[in-house]
Amino acid sequence: MRGSYHNHPGYCDGLGTVEDFVAAAQAAGLAAVGVSSHAPVPFACSWTMTLERFREYVAKARLVQERWRGSYPVWVGVELDYLDAELVPGGAAFQRAHVLSAQLDYAVVSLHFVGRDPEGQPWAVDESAESFAQQVDVVYGGEVRRLVEDYYRLMEQLAAWAQGLRIPVVVGHLDKVKQWNVGEWYFREAESWYQEAVERALFAIKRAEIPIEVNTAGLRRPIGAPYPGEWILRRCWELGIPVTIGADAHQPAEVAAGFEEASQLLRSVGYEELLVLEQGRWQTVPLR
């Protein structure tokens, strides 16, 4: 009964066609698949779609969706960044006019951009280990705590923003700020300030009544853990926040990567159900 909804064909920084992802999802025994290439942003960015590529992507994905209509569910979405109004003035208006106007089936809502780089452009926390280290030093004067707290403060804002998008949404890679924290080099997740920042974000997500994904991409990275990790998922279960599983696949072979590990983790913290996209909304199915 599992679907895979966080997938990046070769229109942004991914590889493969929409058809390739459909074939891979079917081969993996998934009940449905969605594509969610990185939505355009109103500034230079090497890993998001341009507006032209976005139009091509939606047109092609709709053709594939129609080809499989009635026999296999294919959903057309995007990974949509939260763009803080102070960081990207007019960002929300740009998204309404150029992205959400495409009448998408859903969106993976994510946070990448925190602060500005030396050229004044929005700075992504997951660009590279070197970039993150520079971000900590240049923007935050070596105080990683301030960066991390800013990240989760923006995640709180993301929840309120996503609630008003009027399409099904799921929060992507909730704690991705830990990506370069291998061996807890930058911070310890057991520290009270970190857990308090996470807790505030979780309460905002709960208030907004939106689900999160268990993003398995971290299992394929040096951090060796999904986003979010076990203790955060346990709090999500305690708070009654619904979940789905996302591969964050950047090539078709990854469309169900880590799904068994994620399912086991969800069961271990108490989850018995997952969400799948059906008839334009999230619906609950047993976790198997």
Judge residue 222's burial from the number of C-beta atoms within 10 Å of its C-beta, 0-12 exposed, 13-18 middle, 19 or more buried. exposed
**pLDDT score at 248:** 98
When pLDDT is cut at 50, 70 and 90, the band that residue 264 belongs to is very high
- Cis bond leading into 9, ω under 30°? no
> Are 234 and 270 within 8 A, CB to CB?
yes
Strands laid side by side in the 169-171 sheet: 3-4, 32-38, 74-81, 106-110, 169-171, 212-215, 243-246
DSSP string, 156-199: HHHHHHHHTSSS-EEE-STTGGGTT-GGGSS--TTSHHHHHHHH
Q: What are phi and psi of 242, to 5 degrees?
A: -75, 160
Supply the DSSP symbol for 42: S
Contacts of 145 (CB under 8 A, 6+ apart): 187, 193, 194
Neighbours of 285 (CB within 10 A): 15
Which pTM value belongs to this model? 0.97
Q: Which CATH class is domain 3-286?
A: alpha beta
Closest CA to 34 of 7, 10, 2, 15: 7
**pLDDT score at 165:** 97
Instruction: Reply yes or no on whether the pLDDT at 280 is more than 90.
Output: no
What are the structural domain ranges in the chain?
3-286
Q: Is 36 in a helix, a strand, or coil? A: strand
Contacts of 252 (CB under 8 A, 6+ apart): 15, 16, 20, 21, 23, 24
pLDDT tens-digit map of 122-169: 999 999 999 999 999 999 999 999 999 999 999 999 999 999 999 999
Rounded to whole angstroms, the Cα distance separating 224 from 217 reads 9
Instruction: Reply yes or no on whether the pLDDT at 288 is more than 90.
Output: no
Contacts of 186 (CB under 8 A, 6+ apart): 136, 144, 148, 180
Tell me the H-state helices in the chain. Answer: 18-27, 51-68, 91-98, 129-140, 144-163, 192-208, 230-239, 259-269
Q: What are phi and psi of 259, to 5 degrees?
A: -65, -35
Instruction: Reply yes or no on whether the pLDDT at 241 is more than 90.
Output: yes
Task: Report the length, in residues, of the chain.
Answer: 288
> Is the sign of the CA dihedral 42, 44, 49, 54 positive or negative?
positive
Residue type for position 82 = Y
Alpha carbon 8 to chain centroid distance? 11
pLDDT tens-digit map of 67-113: 999 999 999 999 999 999 999 999 999 999 999 999 999 999 999 99
Task: Tokens 């853990």: give the residue.
Answer: 225
